[in-house]
């Protein structure tokens, strides 16, 4: 029995057509499901009773179950979702003045094995389905809106921004991640702006090109090093798609991107990639790519050998970038007390020996 959360708008319409139903029925169900957050066919009151009965026997609405829901002292909220087979993934909501950002996972574990990332140390089990990806947003909105009164839907959403920056490499799960993106962007579902939806990638160049053509949203690239030698050690996928290829892909992506810059994420590792010369090398590397830098204080996890860069060194690093006219922000560490900070998401991954071809 199909899970309707697995269908993007076009797939929903096609499935309803296969059932002998008109396209507007698919739109009605899409709105009930995603715009209003309804999981009960009987609550879809503008749909004929005969169709509701038909849907009960031919489809289901099954988001991932919430295992835990923890609140940080700074208001950050971390959800742990059951995705079956002993696997669980983490999703983080970060409230800020004027916006609320949800950080969504796309894989159970991650195969890229970046040296400084807790998720990468957990190994890889499998790609998440579309239902498991969009289901994180679906469940988080329900949880975050509990207690609100006078609501007739999700017109004033708590979640204004979504970033695919949780567990996993989104572009290694391209089909399911893009189907979830299409739901986030669709006016009958979540209606988010392309500028407010961001995909983070370690640099899967062919998939970056494909995303540019099929569903361009804001793009963040996990850079973390100014040269191939260091990036090969920190981000092993660089051995397949080195920096020259990655920078060229970034320039191509900007041809259709909703923003006129690429965000480069750069985790600050004490004595590894935080020297002043590294900042100057980054300026040379990215001089032909309109960009901004998000400097990320390293968030330690058990067993890591890396340390967080000193605040003064981070400040000096940022000053060099900004002195050259590049926007450079230092990410405020959020949710560290519940292991919800950047790079700390680990979830629960079974059968960690599996790998994907990237």
Which amino acids are annotated catalytic?
A: 90, 342
Asked if residues 15 and 3 have their Cβ atoms less than 8 Å apart, the reply is no
Report d(CA 331, CA 342) in Å as an integer: 9
Distance linking the first and last C-alpha atoms of the chain: 31
Asked if residues 314 and 273 have their Cβ atoms less than 8 Å apart, the reply is no
Number of Cβ within 10 Å of residue 93's Cβ equals: 25
Closest by CA position to 204, among listed 246, 155, 173, 244: 246
Report d(CA 310, CA 249) in Å as an integer: 32
Q: What is the DSSP string of 75-125?
A: S-EEEEEEEETTEEEEEEEEEETTEEEEE---EEE-SS--TT-HHHHT-EE
Q: Token match 């919430």: residue?
A: 66
**DSSP H or E segment with residue 158:** none
């Amino acid at each position: 029995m199909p899970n309707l959360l697995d269908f993007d708008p076009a797939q929903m319409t096609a499935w309803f057509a296969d059932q002998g139903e008109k396209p507007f029925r698919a739109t009605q169900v899409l709105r009930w499901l995603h715009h209003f957050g309804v999981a009960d066919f009987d609550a879809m009151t503008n749909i004929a009773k005969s169709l509701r009965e038909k849907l009960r026997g031919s489809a289901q609405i099954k988001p991932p179950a919430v295992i835990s829901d923890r609140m940080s002292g700074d208001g950050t909220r971390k959800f742990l979702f059951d995705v079956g087979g002993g696997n669980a993934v983490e999703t983080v909501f970060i409230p800020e003045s004027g916006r609320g950002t949800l950080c969504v996972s796309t894989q159970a574990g991650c195969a890229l094995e970046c040296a400084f990332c807790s998720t990468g140390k957990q190994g890889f089990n499998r790609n998440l389905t579309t239902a498991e990806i969009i289901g994180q947003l679906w469940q988080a909105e329900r949880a975050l809106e509990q207690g609100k009164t006078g609501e007739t839907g999700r017109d004033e959403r708590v979640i204004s921004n979504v970033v695919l920056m949780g567990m996993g490499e989104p572009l290694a799960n391209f089909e399911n991640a893009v189907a979830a993106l299409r739901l986030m962007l669709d006016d009958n579902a979540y209606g988010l702006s392309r500028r407010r939806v961001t995909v983070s990638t370690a640099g899967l160049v062919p998939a970056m090109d494909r995303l540019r053509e099929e569903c361009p949203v804001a793009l963040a690239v996990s850079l973390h090093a100014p040269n191939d030698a260091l990036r090969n050690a920190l981000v092993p996928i660089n051995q397949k798609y080195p920096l020259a290829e990655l920078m060229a892909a970034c320039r191509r992506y900007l041809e259709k991107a909703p923003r006129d810059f690429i965000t480069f994420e750069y985790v600050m590792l004490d004595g590894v990639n935080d020297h002043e010369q590294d900042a100057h090398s980054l300026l040379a590397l990215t001089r032909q790519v309109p960009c901004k830098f998000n400097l990320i204080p390293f968030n330690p996890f058990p067993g890591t050998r890396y340390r967080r860069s000193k605040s003064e060194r981070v400040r000096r690093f940022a000053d060099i970038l900004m002195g050259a006219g590049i926007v450079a922000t230092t990410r405020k560490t959020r949710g560290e007390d519940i292991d919800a900070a950047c790079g700390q998401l680990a979830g629960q991954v079974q059968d960690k020996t599996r790998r994907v071809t990237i």
